[in-house]
Amino acid sequence: MPFADGTMPALLLVEDDPTSAHFLSAALAALPARVVVAADCAQALAAPGAFDLWLVDAHLPDGSGGELLSRLRAASPGTPAIAHTADPSPGLRDRLLRAGFAEVLVKPLTAAQLQHGVREVLGLGHGDTSSGAADPGPATAVEDWDDEAALKALGGQREHVAQLRGLFLAELPGARAACLDAFARQDATALREALHKLRAGCGFVGAVGLERAVAAWQADPAAPPLRDAFDGAARRLLA
């Protein structure tokens, strides 16, 4: 996906979740493109060089995606931007579009969906939308993992699924502890933020059992049975 002069586009990806950042940056690099990853607003604002496109998480540890876009645009008013979020609500999409984002992508999404969105915003055509990967085969009929969904998200590359699941499982103890601690402190805002961050990672790696538990707990964060269901789903993955 080079420009007409043969150069690769330079992309700034702002994403604080390690699993999501790993998946998104690999999908973007395969366009091909040069990708710089920032974990928060401060890193994004300090990223050196000029970029052809910003891809910004709507929820960041030190600010919102809309706030960050406004600060980035102060220095580079003509750069287009795409927002990405695990929150599918139409209200959030409308707010992000009004803030100046050209598109809003909902996580989890496949590599092909991400690449298509980038090509559209940069006006570079559709490119090759096929993954070139082997048929992932039938889904694995298990409660906790959906191999077919993970393979689809990662273009059918089984080694990438294994690598990303390893990263996800390494981060899961800390994510689980953050959720349970927020519940114990009766901090519903912190709990929803921790669950929101975890949900996209679940989708990328096909952790369907945990994703269902996260979604249910997001809807009713004060419910002890939903906490217990979440904890059980997380423990099964870590066993």
Tell me if 205 is assigned to some domain.
yes
In DSSP notation, 75-116 reads H-TT--EEEEES---HHHHHHHHHHT-SEEEESS--HHHHHH
Query: Which domain, by its residues, includes 207?
Result: 147-238
In this structure, are 44 and 81 located in the same domain? yes
> How many domains does the chain contain in total?
2
pLDDT in tens, 157-172: 888 889 999 999 999 9
Tell me if 77 is assigned to some domain.
yes
pLDDT in tens, 127-186: 554 443 333 333 343 479 999 888 888 778 888 889 999 999 999 999 999 999 999 999
How much is the pTM? 0.81
Ranges of residues in the chain with a pLDDT under 70 are: 1-5, 125-142
Asked whether 12 and 50 are in contact (CB, 8 A), the reply is: no
In this structure, are 157 and 88 located in the same domain? no
In this structure, are 112 and 170 located in the same domain? no
In this structure, are 91 and 178 located in the same domain? no
The dihedrals phi and psi of 223, each to the nearest 5 degrees, come to -90, 115
In this structure, are 15 and 118 located in the same domain? yes
Element holding 63 (H helix, E strand): strand 63-64
Helix (H, G, I), strand (E, B), or coil: what is residue 34?
strand
What pLDDT was estimated at residue 2?
A: 64
Tell me if 3 is assigned to some domain.
no
In this structure, are 108 and 24 located in the same domain? yes
What pLDDT was estimated at residue 108?
A: 87
Tell me if 2 is assigned to some domain.
no
In this structure, are 83 and 164 located in the same domain? no
Tell me if 128 is assigned to some domain.
no
Q: How many CA atoms lie within 13 A of 73 on its CB side?
A: 14
The C-alpha angle 201, 206, 208, rounded to 5 degrees, equals 95
In this structure, are 118 and 179 located in the same domain? no
Helices (H) and strands (E) in the chain, counts: 10, 7
CATH code of residue 18: 3.40.50.2300
Tell me if 180 is assigned to some domain.
yes
In this structure, are 23 and 95 located in the same domain? yes
What pLDDT was estimated at residue 6?
A: 72
In this structure, are 102 and 194 located in the same domain? no
Q: How many CA atoms lie within 13 A of 48 on its CB side?
A: 0
In this structure, are 174 and 83 located in the same domain? no
**Which long-range contacts does 212-219 make (Cβ < 8 Å, 24+ apart)?**
217/179, 217/191, 218/192
What pLDDT was estimated at residue 160?
A: 86
In this structure, are 98 and 152 located in the same domain? no
What pLDDT was estimated at residue 62?
A: 95
The type of residue at 220 is: D
